[in-house]
Amino acid sequence: MISCFFTNHLRWLKIILPAAILAGMCVYSLIEGPRRAPFLSSCLLYPEYFDGCVVAATGCRVMAVGSDMFTVSHSGQNADIKGIIPGLEKGQYVDVLGRFHKEGWLELEKYHVSSRRARLIKLGVSLIPLAVVGYMLCISLRSIRAGR
């Protein structure tokens, strides 16, 4: 039974069916995603519509820190977040989960401060598959040039 997956019999169906499933999942995500977790930029554009919604903003850079609030930059827009994060400094990256208010600020509920070292490690690890694919591409191009 398993060997039928590795033959050319109904090859078009084996290509079209997973592609259709993937396209359907992408459309579902496009339709349902913003309703479940709105983007911070959408909340700032239409504050009355998103009043009281829980917003997740990841990869925010801290621009200013005050006594009871701080300002972050996310997707080119600045947002004020009311809440205290111990040891937070300007220039750090933070992931924030908060309740949006129509006045244009978030009430901090949960947070995660990312260290610079962790961000660099994540970047380095994500580049490993790119290097492997590039290496395999070079090997295949060499074999094509050699006429194999």
Count of CB atoms situated within 10 Å of the CB of 111: 16
- pLDDT at position 4 is 62
Residue 114 neighbours by CB under 8 Å, 6+ apart = 59, 92, 93, 94, 95
80-104 per-position pLDDT tens digit: 999 999 989 898 999 999 999 999 8
- 110's enclosing H/E stretch is strand 105-114
- pLDDT at position 80 is 93
Q: Quote the mean pLDDT of the chain.
A: 86
36-63 per-position pLDDT tens digit: 678 888 888 888 988 988 988 888 899 9
d(CA 132, CA 99): 42
Amino acid found at 70: F
Q: 98, 103, 101: which is closest to 60 by C-alpha?
A: 98
